[in-house]
Structure 1
Amino acid sequence: MESLWQQLTRGHALLLIFALGFGGSFHCGFHVTSLSSPSSFIRSFINSSWHTRYQESAPPQTVTVIWSLIVSMFSVGGIIGVLVFQFIASKLGRKKTSIFNSVLALIGSGIMLTSKYAESYEMIIAARILYGCTAGLGQTIHLMYLGEISPIRLRGFVTVTSVTFQSLGKLSGQFFGLSEILGREHLWNVVLCVPAAFALLQIIVLPFLPEAPRYLFIEKGDDIACRKALQSLWGQGDYKDDMDEMLAEQAAIDAAPRKSPLQLLGDGSVRWQLLSLLVITLCNQMCGMPTVSIFSFDIFQSAGIPPDKIRYVMVGFGLAEITASFFAGLVIERVGRKLMFWGGYSAMAASWVVVVVLLNVTLSSHWAPYVVVSFMAANIIFFIVGPGGAMAALMSEIFLQSDRKAAFVLQGIGRWFFFGVQGFFFPFLINALDSYCFVLFACVCLLGCLYNVLFLPETKGKTILEISKEFNGITLCRGSNPLADTMETKL
């Protein structure tokens, strides 16, 4: 039996995975962490720009409002990117949508780079909106593209690479923000444009790589192009099993036409898939991991880490996240999705409780803050090896091709909404509850654990139709499902 490396290198699959990664979720990860390093420089730039225009210093409240807009517009752009995803992906296909997204990233970087010389903080806000659009659209098309190029036996590993590249993006944002690299005042606009180089790389490489085989077969009806794409990606072969699965899914789609996000919400045949999507998205966004990324400096400072060492601790966290994502890719096809979900959530809940206890126990030792940080690092590992990694695979497994784009839109809206809510309310929570705010994260993790133990079926090694049948077999609060019966009869 061929090793994983041999299967990835028989064709161009590995090259496509890298091209999609650096042009996809890498951007989202980079822009989540890169803004923390030059934040003080950008505030000074806002003040100096204001002074140049009005010959007076900007009021502190005005600087705070402008800075808040710069931070929050990223989430607004993310929602816009998700909302236009279904339309663009249907019109352009997977490959052209990825290239279009990279062009948007270049435009945003051009605006950001020139904002310093134009002395315009409005251009920073506009660039952040475009960055959000590229993150929302790019992350969504990246995950869908991966799911549609991967055979069943490698679907888990291939889709988890989206998490790996997002982690790599976070680490790159922290690394390039170090004062020894680009984290200096005269380079703040340059450090925020680093992803442009990877977007340009994708624009150059991607035209020479194949379109998603599943898209070619099911949506374009071109079985010859689909077979050629599979052979280009994974080496020579007839791929009869993979194409038979696509044919069966196409028959199911004929019985259930493509839906918009609103139509999908009203479809009773996928209520359990939608509920699972909502609960897991909520738990993944509200379990504390985005908070550690956004407010890492404040959290580590309150834990007692010296300010001059915090950036290096953040780089260490980034390395831990990447290592965990590699491990998740290796184990996901061995242990399955269900264990990764409930095991990761339960370990995170226990870890958050330990963090709360340590923060409320007076420890005079100089190493005490590092114990707290080590448990936070463990939380990151539990998340990536657990629900963070498994969610990437699940999104490509629980919906038919006709429902998948609408499902990605709904999941993206939920992800960016919860991301924005947590970013806005966490400062108020930590002021009101202090360290006990982490108890809320533990409760969310416990909710995710219970839901996945009770209701989520295992999806490892199963076709999408088999997984849909298992969801339809859940009888709690469920009546008859004539649409599912019609689909099964047609098949």
Structure 2
Amino acid sequence: MEDEHERPLQPRTQIQGRVLLLTICAAGIGGTFQFGYNLSIINAPTLHIQEFTNETWQMRTGRPLPDHLVLLVWSLIVSLYPLGGLLGALLAGPLAVKLGRKKSLLASDVFVVAAAPLFAFSRRAGSFEMVMLGRLLVGVSAGVSMNVQPMYLGESAPKELRGAVAMTSAIFTALGILMGQVVGLRELLGGPQDWPLLLASCLVPGVLQLASLPLLPESPRFLFIDRGDSEACLAALRRLRGPADLAEELAELQRERAACRGRRARRPWELFRERALRRQVASLVVLGGAMELCGNDAMYTYAAVVFSQARIPPEKVQYAAIGTGGCELLAVLLSCVVIERVGRRVLLLAGYGLMTCWGSVFTAALCLQSSFPWMPYLAMSCIFASILSFGVGPAGVTGILATELFDQMARPAACVVCGALMWSMLFLVGLTFPFIAEGLSNFLYVPFLCVCVCGAVYTGFFLPETRGKSFVEISEELHRLNFPRGSQGPVWMGPEVIQSTEL
């Protein structure tokens, strides 16, 4: 009899599972995929864009642009992307509150649609300024989507899958980096005449998101807690969960809504003033900063040099670089599979611990590369191993913190803080790494080693585990951590919730 009752539900369950999967894909393809894609495609046409800049200037003035000014223009083209990302991160919180999570992601695509024609026609128009403006616009898009996407997915997923679903943001980032490396090959769009199309290809994932995301549900938590629309929330939950019993989840939403009643959405600077958010903000700042300062970007940047030292022919270096992107994608996929079994803290500890080990070996290999002919190969192995370690923990788990550690009223502001910190650190590393590499030579990775050690220590001693817990349970545990020894503080659940719970 049980089998007879279960059979009619199986096709419907599969359909609802597909809705959640399609939501993940639609949010990711125009979200963190765009971030990784636009981050990596700019590497292939470096020399071509510099030549275009010099030719354009010579056509305008009749004389070539000095080399240091060509480098300055190129630096601006590269750095305008994180600058736009910082602006987008500051916009993400207000947009998520006013428009909702799904509409904010769709709004971010408007910047991509505006940027693509600038890239495509920049060469024909003879304007490197169009490339600069386009990079700024795609940066704004990435800044909005990178902060809203984990929030949207984390609020839409059931608690037993929340970590794995939110982890897909890192999967799409790694996939975007890898796809950008592949499309940037000389055989595809990496040729001297094709770079405008390469940069404009960001339009494709943007259009895919614009076509698919409107068909999928909004975040149930946003609909119920922020908008007070219980019918829309129930409809969204039914599409995302299928025939599952929603009573427990609806009760949790009721508790959250009652606790948030009469409160407005926090502003980013207000997070730093509240003792009740002390542990959450510290975790966000320390681990968010550690993710960008742990040296993963340095490994990517230094890879070409190490590959050359390992006697890989220059024309083959770009294929070896694709392996680095593939390593991060493989590691993040593995992390997504095991995160709900081993937890967030274990993955972060493993990631930072392994990065410390491999970074130490990498430093030793650089110091001894002139003494032993096989040392460059050891250094190359350390690059792949370090990127794998980064993908196991920091790459995906860090992005979940703003979603899981903050309640509904503070979550958008936390995403603004996290995004602003990430883009600022990305800009800082890109600006200072050449000087670090020149000043420290073979010891260039030592500052990053210190950051990895700090990240591991903080995770081990101060970061609470959130695996398998509801947002209410997480908030109650954080309240106990922020107010130890029985000291009184603002309780996360309001009096209405306490009464309803007792009843």
**TM bracket (short chain):** over 0.9
| Preserved contact between residue 255 and residue 490 of structure 1 (Cα < 8 Å) | no
Paired residues for 1:165-180 under 5 Å: 165-180=172-187
| Preserved contact between residue 294 and residue 423 of structure 1 (Cα < 8 Å) | no
Query: Cα–Cα, structure 1 residues 208 and 490, in superposed 2: closer, same or farther, change >3 Å?
Result: closer
2:201 aligned to 163, 173, 194, which one?
Answer: 194
Return the offset for 1:87.
1.9
2:225 aligned to 214, 218, 221, which one?
Answer: 218
- Quote the residue 1:460 is aligned against: 467
- Quote the residue 2:457 is aligned against: 450
1:23 aligned to 30, 55, 74, which one?
Answer: 30
1:393 aligned to 396, 400, 403, which one?
Answer: 400
The code of the aligned residue for 1:449 comes to A
- Quote the residue 2:67 is aligned against: 60
1:354 matched to 2:361? The reply is yes
Structure-1-length-normalised TM-score = 0.94
Return the offset for 1:237.
3.1
| Preserved contact between residue 171 and residue 319 of structure 1 (Cα < 8 Å) | yes
Query: How many Å separate the matches in 2 of 1:127 and 1:273?
Result: 35
Return the offset for 1:175.
0.4
Query: Cα–Cα, structure 1 residues 490 and 408, in superposed 2: closer, same or farther, change >3 Å?
Result: same
| Preserved contact between residue 277 and residue 482 of structure 2 (Cα < 8 Å) | no
- Quote the residue 2:501 is aligned against: none
Return the offset for 1:401.
0.5
Deviations 1:208-231, CA, capped at 9 Å, x for gaps:
111111111111111221111112
Paired residues for 1:223-238 under 5 Å: 223-238=230-245
Query: How many Å separate the matches in 2 of 1:67 and 1:29?
Result: 19
1:35 matched to 2:45? The reply is no
Return the offset for 1:414.
0.4
The code of the aligned residue for 1:25 comes to T
Query: Cα–Cα, structure 1 residues 8 and 172, in superposed 2: closer, same or farther, change >3 Å?
Result: farther
1:88 matched to 2:95? The reply is yes
Paired residues for 1:322-471 under 5 Å: 322-362=329-369, 367-471=374-478
Using the aligned pairs only, state the percent identity: 36
Query: How many Å separate the matches in 1 of 2:72 and 2:223?
Result: 47
1:240 aligned to 243, 247, 255, which one?
Answer: 247
- Quote the residue 1:290 is aligned against: 297
The code of the aligned residue for 1:71 comes to V
- Quote the residue 2:3 is aligned against: none
Unaligned runs of 5+ in 1: none
Return the offset for 1:7.
6.6
| Preserved contact between residue 152 and residue 463 of structure 1 (Cα < 8 Å) | yes
- Quote the residue 2:86 is aligned against: 79
Unaligned runs of 5+ in 2: 1-5, 499-503
Return the offset for 1:92.
1.6
| Preserved contact between residue 292 and residue 426 of structure 2 (Cα < 8 Å) | yes
| Preserved contact between residue 11 and residue 234 of structure 1 (Cα < 8 Å) | no
Query: How many Å separate the matches in 2 of 1:475 and 1:145?
Result: 27
- Quote the residue 2:215 is aligned against: 208
Deviations 1:314-347, CA, capped at 9 Å, x for gaps:
1111111111111111000000011111121111
SS in structure 2 at match of 1:153: coil
Query: Cα–Cα, structure 1 residues 321 and 111, in superposed 2: closer, same or farther, change >3 Å?
Result: same
- Quote the residue 1:152 is aligned against: 159
The code of the aligned residue for 2:439 comes to A
Query: Cα–Cα, structure 1 residues 185 and 99, in superposed 2: closer, same or farther, change >3 Å?
Result: same
Query: How many Å separate the matches in 2 of 1:473 and 1:7?
Result: 40
Query: Cα–Cα, structure 1 residues 443 and 63, in superposed 2: closer, same or farther, change >3 Å?
Result: same
Return the offset for 1:85.
1.2
Return the offset for 1:490.
5.1
Structure-2-length-normalised TM-score = 0.92
Query: How many Å separate the matches in 2 of 1:362 and 1:277?
Result: 38
Deviations 1:297-323, CA, capped at 9 Å, x for gaps:
345446654422221111111111111
| Preserved contact between residue 275 and residue 482 of structure 2 (Cα < 8 Å) | no
Return the offset for 1:470.
2.2
Query: How many Å separate the matches in 2 of 1:294 and 1:420?
Result: 14
